Amino acid sequence: MLLTTLLAVVAWTGHANPVTIVAINIAHGILTAFDIPARQAFLIELVKDRAGMANAIALNSSMANATRLLGPSIAGILIAAVGENWCFTLDAISYLAVLVSLVLIHPTGPTLRCSQGSMMQNLREGVTSARFAPIRDVLALLALVSLMGVPYTVLMPMLATHVYGGNADTLGFLMAASGLGALIGAVYLAGRPSVLGLGQLIRKSSAVFGLGLIALGACRSVALALPLVMITGCAMMVQMASSNIVLQTLADDDKRGRLMSFYTMAFFGMSPFGSLMAGAMAERMGAAATLTVGGGACLMVRCGSPGVGRGCASPCRPCTRALVSCLRGPATFKLGHEGSDRRRRPQALRLLGPRVF
């Protein structure tokens, strides 16, 4: 809240400059690195009934990823209506609702004990949990798509003005269409009965996302761009949120925060570098060509992810029983220094196996 308030003050006083904006963003990135893994790991303490953990993970992931597209969409509408200064001010005020919500939360789920090992030992355990497929492959696919495809949002202003010949209103409509697509994807994921088959969904949504970017790069009409942006936003939302759901479902409770740290690095950590690269490419070859390159890279990444989505495409009874038993009961195995790699795998991964994906 303090950073957004500072940003609003800078906007109103007219002291905005690249150095100030970069400094605020660096501070925001540092706080995000602590906030997102802690927020994701805290989820288990909010769910009293373990049988509802899968739906809770899906709903949380859908909401978190949908807001990344809905927020800029709302901001685009506000910028067109009241200007940038009020947009920053309203964003700072909105954090009051978050603070009040945190005060009112009373955890009802199981409370996990703090790890007794050293920081390096805990880090090694997290790396060990993340190095098995499909966790490793989901993280790799997520990182590459975040690097090459997700930065399309930063090219929206250039598309609105240089390609479509519009203004702030055009940008607002484009962002609103993207947000609507994200909302549709969030509702779809929240309504799924289980996590089974999400591996196939991740691959398909990555392909749709790449094709949407290519089509958007070739489009020269706002009327055609709006539905394309909506489809692209929906596919991006489904791919990112499905990856989150899969990772959280496979994570052991005591390692959830560490695994979500890898998710944070793959998603939020790669996006800024992708945005920098997309901006440099757009300056030399234009926004439309940059979108085409990014979409083609997403398609190649999708085709080169052998560990995601290969297996049974539909839920089977053994997988369902294993998933239910995993979600209803706490993890019973401990990560030791001895034993085979099989004992080191996360419990859900050992129970479900690659057939689920």
DSSP 156: H
The verdict on residue 240 lying in a domain is yes
Helix, strand or coil, per DSSP, at residue 50: helix
The verdict on residue 48 lying in a domain is yes
User: In angstroms, what CA-CA distances link 2 with 89, 96, 208?
Assistant: 12, 11, 38
**Is the whole-model pTM more than 0.75?**
no
- pLDDT value at residue 163: 85
Contact criterion met (CB below 8 Å) for 150 and 239:
no
Residue with tokens 């597209």: 69
The verdict on residue 21 lying in a domain is yes
The verdict on residue 331 lying in a domain is no
Can you give 217-270 as a three-state secondary structure string? Answer: HHCCCHHHHHHHHHHHHHHHHHHHHHHHHHHHHHCCHHHHHHHHHHHHHHHHHH
- pLDDT value at residue 302: 63
Question: Looking at beta carbons, which pairs linking 118-125 to residues 24 or more positions away fall under 8 Å?
Answer: 122/258, 123/258, 125/255, 125/258, 125/335
Contact criterion met (CB below 8 Å) for 154 and 273:
no
Look up the CATH number of the domain holding residue 221: 1.20.1250.20
Residue 340 CA, distance from chain mean position: 33
- pLDDT value at residue 304: 54
User: In angstroms, what CA-CA distances link 156 with 13, 153, 284, 286?
Assistant: 27, 5, 16, 12
Buried b (16+ CB within 10 A) or exposed e, 171-204: bbbbbbbbbbbbbbbbeebbebebbbbbbbbbbb
The verdict on residue 88 lying in a domain is yes
User: In angstroms, what CA-CA distances link 147 with 114, 180, 267, 268?
Assistant: 34, 23, 8, 10
Residues 180-235: tens digit of each pLDDT: 888 888 888 877 777 777 888 888 898 999 999 999 888 888 889 899 999 998 99
Q: What share of the chain has pLDDT > 90, as a percent?
A: 5
Q: Which segment of 62-71, 168-177, 252-261, 292-301 scores lowest on mean pLDDT? A: 62-71
With vertex at residue 239, the alpha carbon angle to CA 246 and CA 141, rounded to the nearest 5 degrees, is 80
For residue 345, name the pLDDT band (cuts at 50, 70, 90): low
- pLDDT value at residue 133: 67
Calpha distance 281→168 (Å, rounded): 23
Calpha distance 146→143 (Å, rounded): 5
Residues found in the chain: 357
Q: Which domain holds residue 19?
A: 2-107+134-315
Query: What is the domain count for the chain?
Result: 1
The verdict on residue 126 lying in a domain is no
Residue with tokens 């440099």: 280
Residues 301-321: tens digit of each pLDDT: 766 554 454 443 333 343 334
For residue 51, name the pLDDT band (cuts at 50, 70, 90): low
Determine what percent of the chain falls in helix, strand and coil, rounding each to the nearest 5.
80, 0, 20
Helix, strand or coil, per DSSP, at residue 131: coil
The verdict on residue 256 lying in a domain is yes
Residues 14-27: tens digit of each pLDDT: 887 888 888 888 88
The verdict on residue 196 lying in a domain is yes
